Amino acid sequence: MITHPAFSVEPWCIRERELHLDVLAQSESIFALANGHIGLRGNLDEGEPYGLPGTYLNSFYELSPLLYGESGYGFPESDETIINITDGKLIRLLVDDQPFDVRYGRLVGHERVLDFRSGTLKRIAKWISPSGGGVQVCSERLVSFTERSVAAICYEVEPIEDRVRLVVQSELVANEPLPSSSGDPRKAIGLGSVLSSEDYGCRGLAAELVHRTASSGLIMAAGMDHILDGPDRTESSCESYPDMARVTVTTVLEPGQKLRIVKLLSYGWSAERSRQAVRDQVAAALTGARHTGWEELLASQHKYLGEFWDRADVELDGDLEIQAAVRFGLFHVLQAGARAEGRAIPAKGLTGPGYDGHAFWDSETFVLPVLTLTAPQAVAYALRWRHSTLPDARQRAAELGLRGAVFPWRTIAGKECSGYWPAGTAAFHLGADIAHAVVSYLGATADEDFEREVGLELLVETARLWCSLGHFDSSGRFRIDGVTGPDEYSAVADNNVYTNLMAEQNLREAAAAAERHPERAAALGVEGDELARWTKAAAAMTVPFDERLGVHPQAEGFTDHEAWDFAATEPDQYPLMLHFPYFDLYRKQVVKQADLVFAMYLRGEVFSEEQKARNFAYYEALTVRDSSLSASIQSVLAAEIGHLDLAYDYLGEAALMDLYDLERNTSDGLHIASLAGSWISLVAGFGGLRLRSGRLCFAPRLPEQLSRLAFRICFRGRHLRVEVTPLEASYLLSIGKPLELEHYSEQLTVTTGKVLVRPVSPPSVLDRPSQPVGREPMSRQAGRRRANRAVRRPRSNKNEGSQS
């Protein structure tokens, strides 16, 4: 956890004014740049010191064997692990023969800024070398949203006072040594040097390295080129080797002179194409980038982001820190998904190697809902990626004795990589989560081509899964036994409410889609009998209810289990999974993350208001939030039920997850889903937005700490802006044809240019539910005061705290 205010709070950027080496790895994740294809961790230009060097290409992975103390049929045999590819960020600097390294000499000025509008990471460092030479280094780095395979760095050095002699080495380095990994299962495994050289070469100030992975057999190429601007007598040279290429620039700067190097980077990879083809592709992209030039790359980046914020921005009055955090979250969600284009959106985006670079259900359940209303094109691509993995998913289903498709719990390229089936393979809800994302995307875009080409088949194959996974019992109820729901502190239970309700929707939506596209459905082998079975299973779906307690058990039997002894659990025993065996967690009433509460969000229409309130209170007392996927959903339900203060507290936790390193693993990469969750918490929580039958419904309500919330979404080609104040909500259509929507249960039609204003109804007053002792959310009210103080004196706290 980061206990000192490492980053200052500004509306459109994250700014770091002191370099804290104790949180260097966290800052590298926070300052990571990516476009969904290339990811660069926010490592210092000179490479060292580092927390964790990191350069990634989406879906460029190596295979390693998955081993088992005792193996079993169907246990996955190979793990796909994202690898740290050739590092092109490196620009080493010698000042009068002393290497520029912030650990030596004196760092008299430091600032890094991640700018959400320019889409760049800027750095200014003022450094006095041990031998007294002083330089100011200004760098600005971007990973282009518009040129997918291009990144660029503008690197400038100037003397502070006296003349300095400089040598700059701009490099490509493959197989960088990495810090060794720990035993924490959430971290990445270390594979060692996995890139073997296939080709390399240089010409002018450009160089390329081509490498192959041994087991996965993927080929990648990295290229760099440079544009120099320095005083006369600036000299340069280039050399290349199998694992390294280097451009060396030498000059002497007099006071007032400046050396400017624009480093253009290009990356490509392929599983199919030859090494020469991949190398050519990278060389071509470099030529293109050189043609574009730094200023133009910068301008395009700015324009791309300008358009994004125009349709996606969220504004907040009353909490500056959350204002910054929600934009930070949106920016990183965009970075994770914008140009993935047929590849997965991993849980940590391309910001670090955590979770081995795998994508999980949170892609569809947290990230896509945000993108659906802010960057729908990216959603189509993400779901096309899932669709492209259908052959693997069908094969997995067959291997498991099931019909349809079983998508992998965690994967990069489509194969199941989960080494612990009760919390992996058994979490079949993923199939329904994907179906839900398809339905939401279709609802928000009415993209018929997509439905016909991609959506229908995803719905059909997941519906088939449910039909073969469940069965009708002797009293005619449809049961789904022995599966694991979202809560990872329960597993392999019967009739998990979340799973069953999501499956029910999946079955119904598949039938409806098949009826809309009878020819395409027939081509997928769907016949009338099958539709009838889906409809019948949906209608007979078991949803257990504990009449005695008046609540829904998370799964059958859950409410009969022993309650976890929270009073006897020490604060340092969280997360529980690192201190207690699964067997103990599974058989007791303790909840890692929203599960039944999640069902009440995504399938809210199934629950009465009273049930929601009772269920919420029941599960609040059991939920420890040992997952980053919980706070935002608890926030949404708390807001819906009327616990606005609590919702606000949870919003704070979700939004600040990484800026404060609350899960203590931000060093491995950002929690993209939790960042998405901060948007969900604001828009679905306080904005009360639900998508029902393809219609936008709002039930907005603000906590007393916020005086205004405004958010923009795009929906079926329209751009809508919603503004909520304590007493009123206003709806404004900026682009598009008139739109019908609901405010509470009132039907409204908004037309462009005309603001519709409606009153906000106050919530009923309810007792605030209690959480397990010690697991209450941090008070956002107090956090806000703290943060606001920090804003007033941003540079005063250098030694205030240390990392815990």
Q: Residue 703's closest CA among 721, 685, 722, 729? A: 685
Among 109, 293, 318, 482, binds a second copy (CB under 8 A): 482
Single residue of 483, 514, 654, 662 touching a second copy by CB under 8 A: 483
Helical packing angle, 294-312 and 320-337, nearest 10°? 120
- 587 binding a second copy? (CB under 8 A): yes
By CB under 8 A, the residues from 492 to 551 that bind a second copy are: 492, 494, 548
Distance CA 22, CA 664 (A): 13
**Beta-sheet pairing, 206-213 with 219-229:** antiparallel
Q: Which of 162, 229, 317, 560 binds a second copy (CB under 8 A)?
A: 560
Q: Residue 168 is encoded by which pair of tokens?
A: 């700059």
In whole angstroms, the minimum distance from the beta carbon of 529 to a second copy comes to: 19
Tell me which of 6, 333, 340, 400 binds a second copy, using CB under 8 A: 400
Residue 473 is a binding residue for a second copy (CB under 8 A): yes
Residue with Cβ nearer a second copy (50 or 409): 409
Cα 197 from chain centre = 32
Position among 491, 511, 521, 760 found at the interface with a second copy (CB under 8 A)? 491
Query: Does residue 185 bind a second copy (CB under 8 A)?
Result: yes
In the complex, least distance from residue 480 CB atom to a second copy, rounded to whole angstroms: 9
CB of 460 to a second copy, least distance (A): 22
**Residue 511 C-beta: closest distance to a second copy, Å:** 22
Catalytic residue, chosen from 80, 176, 488, 663, is 488
Q: Of 99, 132, 318, 422, which lies in the binding site for a second copy, with binding defined by CB under 8 A?
A: 422
CA–CA dist 444, 716 (Å, integer): 5
Span of 256-264, 302-310, 481-489, 651-659 interacting with a second copy by CB under 8 A: 481-489
Burial class (CB in 10 A: 0-12, 13-18, 19+), 293: middle
Q: Is the dihedral of CA 342, 343, 345, 351 positive or negative?
A: negative
Q: Which of residues 710-769 bind a second copy (CB under 8 A)?
A: none
Q: How far apart are CA 47 and CA 70, in angstroms?
A: 42
**Which residue has 């050095």 as its token pair?**
157
Closest CA relative to residue 241, chosen from 275, 207, 266, 215: 207
Q: Which two tokens stand for residue 506?
A: 């999946």
- Smaller CB distance to a second copy: residue 537 or 699? 537
Bridge partners (DSSP) of residue 221 are 210, 268
| CB nearer to a second copy: pick between 79 and 321 | 79
- The backbone torsions φ and ψ at residue 789, rounded to the nearest 5 degrees and listed phi first, read -60, -45
Backbone angles phi, psi at 288, to 5 degrees: -60, -45
Residue 527 among the catalytic residues: no
Q: Give the nearest distance from C-beta 545 to a second copy in angstroms.
A: 16
Site string for a second copy, 60-79 (x = CB under 8 A): ------xxxxxxxxxxx--x
CA 207 to chain centre: 32
Query: Considering the complex, what minimum distance in angstroms separates the CB of residue 582 from a second copy?
Result: 6
CB of 584 to a second copy, least distance (A): 5
Q: C-beta of 583: minimal distance to a second copy in Å?
A: 5
**Buried-exposed string 741-751: b where 16+ CB fall within 10 A, e elsewhere:** bbbeeeeeebe
Residues 6+ apart with CB under 8 A from 236: 205, 226, 228, 247, 248, 249, 250
Among 331, 421, 534, 698, binds a second copy (CB under 8 A): 421
Task: Identify which range of 284-292, 381-389, 416-424, 698-706 contacts a second copy by CB under 8 A.
Answer: 416-424
Check if the beta carbon of residue 43 is closer than 8 Å to that of residue 19: no
- Here's the x/- map for a second copy, 91-110, by CB under 8 A: it reads as --------------------
Residues engaged in binding a second copy (CB under 8 A) = 66-76, 79, 183, 185, 399-401, 418-426, 471, 473-474, 479, 481-483, 491-492, 494, 548, 556-557, 560-562, 577-584, 586-588
Q: Tell me the catalytic residues.
A: 488
